[in-house]
Amino acid sequence: MSPDLLALFTTLKMATLTTIILLLIGTPLAWYLAKMQSRFKVIIEAIVALPLVLPPTVLGFYLLIAFSPQHLPGQLWQQATGQQLAFSFSAIVIGSVLYSMPFVVQPLQKAFEQLGEPLLEASAMLSANAMDRFFNIVLPITKASFITAASLGFAHTVGEFGVILMIGGNIPGETRVLSIALFDHVEAFDYAKAHVLAISLLAGSMVLLASIYLLNSPRKKTLKRASK
Partner 1 sequence: MKSSSLERALPLTIDIQLSFEGVSFEKFNLTIKQDLSLRGITGIYGHSGSGKSTLLRAIAGLEKGMDGSIIFDNTSLIDSKTKCFVKAEHRNIGLVFQDSRLFPHLNVLNNLKFAASRCQNRRLDFNEIIRLTELDSLLHKHVDELSGGQKQRVALARAILAEPKLLLLDEPLSALDRQAKAGLLKLILIIQKELQLPMLYVSHSIDELQQVCDKLLVLSQGKMVGYDGIHRMIHQLNYTQNNHAKIDDFIHQQTSLSLPIKTLNNGHGLAILRLNKIDEIYLPALEENSIEETLRCFILASDISISLTEPVNSSIVNHLLAKITTINTVDKKVLITAHCAMEDGDQEFFVSISAFSQQKLALREMQNVYLQFKASAVRTYLY
**Which residues lie near partner 1 (CB under 8 A)?**
118-119, 121-129, 132, 136-137, 140-141, 225, 228
Of the pair 124, 171, the CB lying nearest partner 1 is at 124
Of the pair 187, 219, the CB lying nearest partner 1 is at 219
Least spacing, CB of residue 82 vs partner 1, in Å: 46
Of the pair 2, 129, the CB lying nearest partner 1 is at 129
Least spacing, CB of residue 214 vs partner 1, in Å: 19
Long-range CB contacts (within 8 A, 24+) of 80-85: none
Q: Which residues of 21-56 are buried (b: 16+ CB within 10 A; e: fewer)?
A: bbeeebbebbbebbeeeeeeeeeebeebeebeeeeb
Of the pair 2, 127, the CB lying nearest partner 1 is at 127
Least spacing, CB of residue 127 vs partner 1, in Å: 4
Least spacing, CB of residue 225 vs partner 1, in Å: 6
Of the pair 80, 126, the CB lying nearest partner 1 is at 126
CB 51 within 8 A of CB 98: yes
Least spacing, CB of residue 140 vs partner 1, in Å: 5
DSSP 143-169: HHHHHHHHHHHHHHHHT--HHHHHHT-
CB 80 within 8 A of CB 74: no
